[in-house]
Amino acid sequence: MDSKDSEVLPDAGVSHPLIGLPTYAESARFGSWQVDSAVLHFSYVQMVVEAGGIPVLLPPVGVARPELVARLDGLVLTGGADVGPDRYGAPAHPLTYTRPDRDDSEFRLFELARAVDLPILAVCRGLQVVNVAMGGSLIQHLPEVVGHAEHSGTEGGFTTTQVTTVPGSRVAAIAGADVKANCHHHQAIDRLANGLIATAHAADGTIEAAEAPDGPFLVGVQWHPEVDALDRRLTRALVAAAEDYRRERMS
């Protein structure tokens, strides 16, 4: 290995955990090409790298397979489109926008990950996937319930929501008592699934985080930690859990 290689891979002998990141399948333009692509905000990739993990992009190419999950050490269920309301027995709201390809892939991915106790951090849509997969339901258009659109973000951007965590919870231990959360969501948890506890709320009562109180790492937040480059606490906690998982699996 020459000096250039050693600069690129200063810790090549260290075994970093592999962290899965579901993506969209979208038409995207880069260079002279407009082609179907696996697409994800690069901030997700950055937050995993900065926390010490190796990001693995997971496009929605059918339902997830067990051998895929067997290669991962952790999983971030990423943000995106609304979960199909048919999955919790509700008719679609006129403003509900779904991506069945992601639902098919990610609901199975979550099921397989839980079966092997894979550490999971669920972000925005990801938290909603977790809640529905475990038997809960969603508010399909939050402004109709809380009377404002302050959670909904801006076109291509975020709004700041003050979030208070529940003392003694895992998310409180990681992120602190109060969080200035970057939000971009018009849906939220309605009926909380059995097996989850609500661990953070906005001032209007909206559930902004939920977690499994026992067992392997499963934390979901309704906000977007990937856009806060100065705060990688949640991702570092996931990567630390993934490192433990990797060691136990290989021992």
Active site (annotated) includes residue 224: yes
Pick the catalytic residue from 124, 151, 185, 208.
124
Tokens of 135: 């038997």
Give CA 179 to chain center in angstroms.
Answer: 17
Active site (annotated) includes residue 184: no
Q: Tokens 């790492």 correspond to what residue?
A: 217
CA separation (Å) from 242 to 49, 56, 62, 73, 228? 13, 14, 25, 5, 21
Pick the catalytic residue from 151, 184, 185, 224.
224
Tokens of 47: 């937050």
> How far apart are alpha carbons 217 and 222 in whole angstroms?
17
Active site (annotated) includes residue 226: yes
Pick the catalytic residue from 106, 211, 226, 243.
226
Count of alpha carbons within 13 angstroms of residue 142, beta-carbon side: 24
Residues with a known catalytic role: 124, 224, 226
